[in-house]
Amino acid sequence: MFAFFLSSGLFLGWSLGANDASNVFGTAVGSRMVKFRTAAIVCSVFVILGAVISGSGASHTLGKLGSVNAIAGAFMVAFAAAMSVYLMTLARYPVSTSQAIVGAIIGWNLFTGSRIDTNSLTKIVLTWVACPILSAVFAMIIYKLVALYIKFMKIHMFKLDSMTRYGLFFAGALGSYSLGANNIANVMGVFVPVSPFSSISFYGLFTLTSAQQLFLIGSLAIAVGVFTYSKRVMLTVGTGIFQLSPVAAFVCVVAHSIVLLLFASQGLERFLISHNIPPIPLVPVSSSQAIVGAVIGIGLLKGGRGIQWKTVAGITSGWIVTPIIAALISFISLFFLQNVFQQKTYRPVGYLITIDAAQRIRDGGVSEEKFKGLQGREFPTAVKFSNALSEYTELTREERDLIVLSAQMDEMEITRSGITGLDTNWITPEQIAALELLEGRVFDHQWQLDEALAEVSPYWRFREDDDKYNRDLRQKLSYIYRFFRYG
């Protein structure tokens, strides 16, 4: 059944390759500096390398929107996203897999009654507006600088042609690596918690974890999409909006990469915060929007007369329609999958302010008067619990989040069979030893297990100013929950 359910992830990977390859090589192919076949080979190789070597889980902001907790639900969320991307690809419009995933997850949330983090959703939607605008601005600035450099250095036309060609190859390879590293989570992220694979060691030289095996499979699907169907969208990006010169094509790819970095760099975020400057939100942005914005920026710089505004309007409408289509497909498909085919599309998550949860909320600075009327009452979904909170009192966003997270029920028992089933190539011996100390303990909430582990071992504690370690630790905690969870 897992192989069958995984097929929707492969479909999504194929759709991503068919559509998003245009973001890194569309301008190069459209300007005829790189042949399509060459671009497809380079893109495929570096997408696979990026996915396996640097592939990570879904971004923190995107993960807040909803946590798909059943394999059948993961299948349908991936299928809805893939279908919406495929429909846009048929229309030859570049769209974002992240947009499709956001819409599909929202559809899952609406169907299951799960809570949507409106703050995270607002940030993501705002970046969908800011991303192409920023990319256009950067493209204009970089193009002006490059033009001045060429004029000042008096570069011969043949030398310039050679430099531009190499620049497009380098930018395309780097962009392809980033595409694999950053977007593979959109393809396979929902399947990581339910993966049946075990780590594989190759003669002690290197080890492929369960997640990396999924990423490899997903990246191969992306590569197939690049080869079989990406040429049409590449030509739309490269020639359908504005006829680009080779130098302008290079500038567009560079501008697109800078914008993606701005919304993904934790180092930049820390720098801005340390200098009391409002940080740029770290949210998943659309590489499709970035490259399209860059192309439009070059067109505007040249007077705007050559821009095919009809094509731009079609692309923009695709950006609006894609998440809506994905949400509708997700919601309707989940209904049929659960009620007609009798598949478990989600694991119900209840909410109850237990004695321990009430103490944690008080320790967080929330007065008991603000939630006393809800203690002891169990709610079947996050939406119903949030509605009850709204009826009782006015709460700040931080207080509401603390209460909701503290009350979320997730009953677990640390068992010997669960411990022995863990991936020992990923979970360290010290972390296994800490779990053994808790064997037989029962927990009502995830945070109780987190705190218990942190109390018995420093290897389960988060570290200040170590984002990479903390991200890995969060992924490990999410991974171990399923081995000890009831049902």
At residue 194, the pLDDT reads 63
Residues 6+ apart with CB under 8 A from 70: 194, 344, 345, 346, 347
| Range 285-289 average pLDDT | 77
| Range 390-406 average pLDDT | 84
Q: Which residue has the higher pLDDT, 163 or 157?
A: 163
The C-alpha atoms of residue 147 and residue 57 are separated, in whole angstroms, by: 40
| Range 480-487 average pLDDT | 83
Residue 282's pLDDT band, with cuts at 50, 70 and 90, is low
Checking if the pLDDT of 203 tops 80, the result is no
Here the tokens at position 177 are 């690596």
At residue 41, the pLDDT reads 92
At residue 59, the pLDDT reads 44
The C-alpha atoms of residue 247 and residue 30 are separated, in whole angstroms, by: 12
| Domain boundaries, given as residue ranges, for the chain | 2-339, 351-407, 412-484
Q: Please give, one letter per residue, the 3-state secondary structure of the chain.
A: CHHHHHHHHHHHHHHHHHHHHHHHHHHHHHCCCCCHHHHHHHHHHHHHHHHHHHCCCCCHHHHHCCCCCCHHHHHHHHHHHHHHHHHHHHCCCCCCHHHHHHHHHHHHHHHHCCCCCHHHHHHHHHHHHHHHHHHHHHHHHHHHHHHHHHHHHCCCHHHHHHHHHHHHHHHHHHHHHHHHHHHHHHHHHHHHHHCCCCCEEECCCEEECHHHHHHHHHHHHHHHHHHHHCHHHHHHHHHHCCCCCHHHHHHHHHHHHHHHHHCCCHHHHHHHHHCCCCCCCCCCCCHHHHHHHHHHHHHHHCCCCCCCHHHHHHHHHHHHHHHHHHHHHHHHHHHHHHHCCCCCCCCCCCEECCHHHHHHHHHCCCCHHHCHHHCCCEECCHHHHHHHHHHHCCCCHHHHHHHHHHHECCCEECCHHHHHCCCCCCCCHHHHHHHHHCCCCEECCHHHHHHHHHHHCHHHCCCCCCHHHHHHHHHHHHHHHHHHECC
| Range 266-284 average pLDDT | 69
By mean pLDDT, which of 174-188, 295-309, 417-431 is the weakest? 174-188
Phi, psi values for residue 486, rounded to 5°: -65, 140
The C-alpha atoms of residue 380 and residue 136 are separated, in whole angstroms, by: 47
| Range 226-243 average pLDDT | 71
pTM comes to: 0.77
Here the tokens at position 220 are 């191969």
Here the tokens at position 231 are 């040429």
By mean pLDDT, which of 48-62, 105-119, 421-435 is the weakest? 48-62
The C-alpha atoms of residue 445 and residue 411 are separated, in whole angstroms, by: 6
By mean pLDDT, which of 113-122, 341-350, 351-360, 368-377 is the weakest? 113-122
**What angle is formed at CA 73 by the lines to CA 342 and CA 330, rounded to 5 degrees?**
100
The C-alpha atoms of residue 279 and residue 383 are separated, in whole angstroms, by: 31
The C-alpha atoms of residue 179 and residue 185 are separated, in whole angstroms, by: 10
Q: Among residues 288, 361, 214, which one has the least CA distance to residue 22?
A: 288
Checking if the pLDDT of 183 tops 90, the result is no
The C-alpha atoms of residue 314 and residue 63 are separated, in whole angstroms, by: 29
Checking if the pLDDT of 58 tops 50, the result is no
The one-letter amino acid code at 445 reads H
Q: Which residue has the higher pLDDT, 137 or 347?
A: 137
Residue 45's pLDDT band, with cuts at 50, 70 and 90, is very high
Checking if the pLDDT of 234 tops 90, the result is no
| Range 368-375 average pLDDT | 86
By mean pLDDT, which of 164-178, 229-243, 403-417, 447-461 is the weakest? 229-243
Here the tokens at position 395 are 């709460």
Q: What is the dihedral sign for C-alpha 214, 218, 221, 223?
A: negative
- Exposed / middle / buried, residue 227 (Cβ in 10 Å: 0-12, 13-18, 19+): middle
| Range 407-425 average pLDDT | 90
At residue 451, the pLDDT reads 96
The C-alpha atoms of residue 141 and residue 135 are separated, in whole angstroms, by: 10
At residue 57, the pLDDT reads 43
Residue 227's pLDDT band, with cuts at 50, 70 and 90, is confident
β-strands 442-443, 412-413 pairing:
antiparallel
Q: How confident is the model over 60-72, as pLDDT tens digits?
A: 455 566 677 788 8
| Range 429-452 average pLDDT | 96
Q: Which residue has the higher pLDDT, 445 or 317?
A: 445
At residue 195, the pLDDT reads 66
The C-alpha atoms of residue 103 and residue 208 are separated, in whole angstroms, by: 31
Checking if the pLDDT of 138 tops 80, the result is yes
The answer to whether residues 78 and 245 touch, using CB atoms and an 8 Å cutoff, is no
The C-alpha atoms of residue 160 and residue 173 are separated, in whole angstroms, by: 20
The C-alpha atoms of residue 260 and residue 130 are separated, in whole angstroms, by: 11
The answer to whether residues 385 and 379 touch, using CB atoms and an 8 Å cutoff, is yes
The C-alpha atoms of residue 93 and residue 78 are separated, in whole angstroms, by: 20
At residue 193, the pLDDT reads 61
Residue 385's pLDDT band, with cuts at 50, 70 and 90, is very high
Checking if the pLDDT of 288 tops 70, the result is yes
Q: How confident is the model over 329-340, as pLDDT tens digits?
A: 999 999 999 988
